[in-house]
Amino acid sequence: MKKNLFIFLIVAPLFGLLLTGGRVYYSIAIWKYEGADTFFQVKPGEGFSKINGRLGREGLISNTRIFHRYAQINGLMTKIKAGNYKIKTGDNLLDVVKILTSGAGITSSVTIPEGKNLYEIAEILEKNDITPKKDFIKLTKSMEFANELGIPAERLEGYLYPDTYRFSKNTPAKDIVKTMVKVFENKTKQLNFSQSDLNKHEIIILASIVEKETGAQIERPRIAGVFYNRLKKRMRMQSDPTTIYGIWERYNGNLRKKDLLEKTPYNTYKISGLPKGPIANPGLKAIKAALNPEGHSFLYFVSKNDGTHVFSKNLKDHNSAVDFWQKNYRNRKGRSWRDLNKKK
């Protein structure tokens, strides 16, 4: 009788503990994922229970209850980071925990060149499977979201800093935009925008125009100076890139006379002063050029078809330059802005 009682009170519970401990140890360290290498995405703001449930349903962990308890005991429930992670054949529960808390998710490198507008950036992001084009466009055209980020404008054009980024696949557009605006703020925080007669937003507008007008870095301060001179004389800026931006969503690559005659908030052939907002996203050098324009008397410039321009102080000289560089077929034939890069 005493023997049976000993077994009931002592041995059985110990045996149960051993079985439970063995099961836990097996689930944590022995069990291995046997499927093919796969990707698992943790979405921004996704809670632990949802992540745990998906891991279990996809067979990437041995036991959701044990995973939950392990994470709870070790203070890991809030340590899992958003990202796209690779789970390999043979990974156990400990491996999965390490992968998801490391933050070293699978990302793609994507380069946003200087001078691209929000529509072009949206195309680049969608092409790289980063985020849907329509989501990015809708968000960057939201005045409410722009103001939320401290940008006093109707849209975020001009503040999506051109740089090389690393994003996970299927990253929400809001996270991408916030990142790009933050980089803009970091890149420009040392600039003194109060040194200009224009306010900060107007500087970014002008910088975006300068960025689109020339690929030659050395010309940017001079072209900025031309626009300053025209603004001071109350002359219209007459910039093709601004006009194109105003009709961008239906622009087919051919700027026609009727486009130049159409009055839009961006057509500087029809309106005075700056357009209503930036027309692209300028780099730091273009912004600096808008802040520090070259002092001169030029009012006109015309392309030499290789990325550089001829500058004129009066309309007569400008028309002569147009005849020579734009109306003379020999001076246009075989020339390209790419020639500029060959000369550098």
Residue 323 DSSP SS3: helix
Two tokens, residue 333: 């034939």
Distances in Å between the Cα of 60 and the Cα atoms of 33, 45, 95, 159 are: 6, 21, 11, 41
Whether 30-102 and 107-188 share one fold: the answer is yes
| Rounded-to-integer distance, Cα 219 and Cα 151, Å | 28
pLDDT (tens digit per residue) in 205-214: 999 999 999 8
Measured over the CA atoms of residue 257, residue 258, residue 260 and residue 266, the dihedral's sign is negative
Going from N- to C-terminal start, the domains of the chain cover 30-102, 107-188, 192-296, 297-344
Fold category of 107-188 in CATH:
Dna Ligase; domain 1 (3.30.1490)
Q: Which helix (H) or strand (E) holds 302?
A: strand 300-303
- Domain boundaries 30-102, CATH class: alpha beta
Two tokens, residue 32: 């291995």
Is this model's pTM higher than 0.85 or not? no
Distances in Å between the Cα of 166 and the Cα atoms of 136, 138, 203, 278, 312 are: 16, 22, 28, 25, 44
Burial 151-188 (b: 16+ CB within 10 A, else e): bebebbbbbbbbbebebbbebbbebbbebbbebbeeeb
pLDDT tens for each residue of the chain, 344 residues long: 544 444 444 544 544 444 444 566 656 666 788 888 887 878 777 888 888 898 889 888 888 888 788 888 888 788 887 777 888 888 887 888 888 887 666 677 899 999 999 999 999 999 998 999 999 999 999 999 999 999 999 999 999 999 999 888 778 899 899 999 999 999 999 999 999 999 999 999 999 999 999 888 899 999 999 999 999 999 999 999 999 999 998 988 888 888 888 899 999 999 999 999 999 999 999 999 999 999 999 999 998 888 889 999 999 999 999 988 887 766 655 444 444 444 44
What is the dotted CATH code of the domain comprising 297-344?
A: 3.30.160
